[in-house]
């Protein structure tokens, strides 16, 4: 199956996804049907990604090779992995109910009660993704970081543990969810991180101004096209030559994939990398020729050991 064939099938699924979301979900609240179409889209998105992906052995840039090796191939184990996953299990085994405020695309605000267990299952980073974020931050060694979307703090803990000397601001829309994240950070003794609450449209710019410049931006909140692009543009003036933008869930929906396509085609983005779990956009002018790579661990394509 060619990449073009997969793209055509994704366009069909994208249309069906939008149609059912508008005409079925909103009228009948048929969440199961929407979930099925979402899963189908993500499955085809993975096939498209995997078909065009390379391993570190096909990379010619020393920087990209070393980065891919550090994020995907490093097998070292750290106590942080155990500590964060123990906190995850504790949240999954509890019965706590909290009020969750959802700002959506920044235009509306809804509030509802949800179990902490449900939030962890749906919004928390997986162990694999968290460990890759840890290795990414450890290898890049940023001095300042900002995260949009703390949730209960799983990705926050992985990032903060990787570079404990960094100044780290994490933004979360829901106050009670932010309190859970603060408690988790305190339990691990991660005093380098501050969580600020409120709509990103109100908290992002002041956070960037307090940092003055940012080395790592993790976009993991409000998974819609226009807000994602808006947050990217807001952060750009505070980016330096070594700043990296990390985008989560770019294959989660057609909107997020479109947002990723536009960001990686931005004039200031010189290098973009898709690891599927998350994607990276660098604005370093030292990369004189614009590059993009889809990269998988070497064992995902055993026949490419050359």
User: Is pLDDT of 215 > 60?
Assistant: yes
Burial, 168: exposed, middle or buried (Cβ in 10 Å; 0-12, 13-18, 19+)?
buried
- Name, in order, each residue with C-beta under 8 angstroms of 202's C-beta and a sequence gap of 6 or more: none
State the pLDDT confidence band at 228, using cuts at 50, 70 and 90: very high
Q: What is the pLDDT of residues 15-35, one digit of tens each?
A: 445 544 444 444 444 556 567
pLDDT, averaged across the chain: 88
Tokens of 165: 């000397």
User: Is pLDDT of 74 > 70?
Assistant: yes
The domain spans of the chain are 3-52, 56-301
* Ramachandran quadrant class, 115 (left: phi over 0; alpha: psi -120 to 50; beta: rest): beta
Cα 94 to Cα 21, 115, 263, distances in angstroms: 32, 9, 39
Mean pLDDT of 185-202: 95
Longest Cα–Cα distance in the chain:
53
User: Is the distance from CB of 152 to CB of 120 less than 8 angstroms?
Assistant: yes
Strands (E), the chain: 97-102, 110-115, 144-148, 167-172, 193-197, 214-219, 239-248, 271-274, 278-282, 291-294
127-140 and 154-162 helices, crossing angle to 10°? 30
* Ramachandran quadrant class, 281 (left: phi over 0; alpha: psi -120 to 50; beta: rest): beta
Strands (E), 141-267: 144-148, 167-172, 193-197, 214-219, 239-248
Give just the sign of the alpha carbon dihedral 198, 181, 167, 286.
Answer: negative
Q: How far apart are CA 270 and CA 285, in angstroms?
A: 7
pTM score of the predicted model: 0.87
Q: What is the pLDDT of residues 99-128, one digit of tens each?
A: 887 765 433 455 588 888 988 988 778 999
Mean pLDDT of 59-87: 96
Q: How far apart are CA 271 and CA 250, in angstroms?
A: 16
pLDDT at 270: 97
Q: Looking at residue 287, what DSSP letter applies? A: -
pLDDT at 20: 45
Look up the CATH number of domain 56-301.
3.40.50.150
Q: What is the pLDDT of residues 264-279, one digit of tens each?
A: 999 999 999 999 999 9
Q: How far apart are CA 173 and CA 102, in angstroms?
A: 7
Nearest to 156 by CA among 209, 118, 193, 205: 193
Which segments of 212-297 does DSSP mark as H helices, in order?
A: 225-235, 254-264
Provide, for the chain, the percentages of residues in helix, strand and coil under a 3-state DSSP scheme, each rounded to the nearest 5: 55, 20, 25
């Amino acid at each position: 199956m060619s990449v073009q064939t997969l793209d055509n099938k994704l366009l069909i699924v994208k249309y069906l996804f939008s149609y059912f979301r508008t005409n079925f979900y909103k009228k009948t609240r048929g969440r199961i049907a929407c979930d099925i179409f979402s899963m189908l889209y993500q499955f085809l998105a993975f096939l498209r990604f995997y078909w065009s992906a390379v391993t570190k052995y096909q990379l010619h840039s020393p920087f990209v090779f070393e980065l891919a090796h550090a994020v995907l191939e490093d097998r070292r184990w750290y106590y942080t992995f155990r500590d964060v996953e123990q906190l995850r299990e504790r949240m999954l085994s509890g019965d706590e109910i909290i009020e969750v405020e959802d700002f959506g695309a920044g235009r509306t605000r809804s509030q509802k009660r949800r179990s902490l267990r449900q939030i962890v299952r749906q919004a928390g980073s997986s162990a694999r993704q968290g460990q890759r974020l840890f290795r990414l931050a450890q290898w890049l060694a940023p001095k300042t970081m900002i995260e949009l979307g703390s949730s209960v703090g799983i990705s926050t803990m992985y990032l903060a543990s990787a570079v404990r000397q960094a100044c780290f601001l994490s933004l979360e829309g829901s106050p009670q969810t932010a309190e859970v994240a603060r408690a988790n950070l305190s339990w691990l003794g991660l005093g380098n991180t501050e969580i600020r609450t409120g709509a990103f449209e109100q908290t992002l710019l002041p956070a960037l101004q307090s940092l003055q410049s940012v080395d790592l931006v993790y976009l993991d909140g409000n998974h819609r096209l226009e807000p994602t692009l808006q947050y990217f543009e807001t952060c750009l003036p505070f980016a330096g030559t070594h700043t990296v933008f990390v985008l989560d869930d770019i294959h989660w929906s057609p909107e997020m994939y479109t947002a990723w396509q536009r960001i990686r085609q931005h004039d200031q983005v010189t290098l973009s990398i898709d690891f599927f779990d998350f994607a990276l956009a660098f604005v370093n002018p030292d990369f004189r020729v614009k590059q993009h790579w889809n990269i998988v661990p070497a064992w995902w394509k055993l026949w490419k050991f050359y």
